[in-house]
Amino acid sequence: MSAPVLGPLELAVLLAVARLGDDAYGLAVRGDVSERTGHDYSVGAVYTTLQRLEEKGLVSSWTTAPQPVRGGRARRKFQVTAAGARALRDARRVAASVWAGVGPNPHPEPA
């Protein structure tokens, strides 16, 4: 079976879930992705991407108990699956292969 193709936002969200670990829930993932990419993604875009990653088997999710504060809500948390970890390793390998041989200034300005 071939590795799933990941779009740029899917890769960024999958990496955020891996990075956040036990704190990987929708708003935290959105904050991480937005901060690292410099683009303010909507909550809907991130949740849609998380759902797509779950459909591909790259993340799994569960709902927590409500937060222990008055009016606290349950959170939907995410974790990277074994297939997701493989997809991340494959993405890193492909990126390294594609970048191989390119120096730190890939397109220098003419003198």
Tell me, what CATH number does 30's domain have? Answer: 1.10.10.10
Measure the CA–CA gap between 47 and 111, rounded to whole angstroms.
47
Cβ neighbours for 34, distance < 8 A, ≥ 6 positions apart: 40, 41
3 alpha carbon, distance to own chain's centre: 16
The model carries a pTM of: 0.85
CB 33 within 8 A of CB 13: yes
Let me know if residue 110 belongs to a domain: no
Per-residue pLDDT, 75: 85
pLDDT exceeds cutoff 80 at 10 = yes
Percent of the residues in the chain that have a pLDDT greater than 70, as a whole number: 95
φ, ψ at 78 (rounded to 5°): -130, 150
Range of the domain at 62: 8-99
6, 32, 47, 49, 58 from 55: Cα distances, Å: 13, 22, 12, 10, 8
Q: What is the mean pLDDT of residues 78-83?
A: 97
In this prediction, residue 2 has a pLDDT band, given cuts at 50, 70 and 90, of low
Number of domains in the chain: 1
Let me know if residue 106 belongs to a domain: no
Let me know if residue 16 belongs to a domain: yes
pLDDT exceeds cutoff 80 at 106 = no
Nearest CA-CA partner of 27 in 68, 7, 35, 4: 35
Per-residue pLDDT, 1: 56
Let me know if residue 54 belongs to a domain: yes
Among the listed ranges 12-16, 53-57, 82-86, 97-101, which one has the minimum average pLDDT value?
97-101
Measure the CA–CA gap between 87 and 4, rounded to whole angstroms.
7
Let me know if residue 62 belongs to a domain: yes
CB 46 within 8 A of CB 33: yes
Let me know if residue 88 belongs to a domain: yes
Let me know if residue 1 belongs to a domain: no
* pLDDT mean across residues, the chain: 90
Let me know if residue 3 belongs to a domain: no
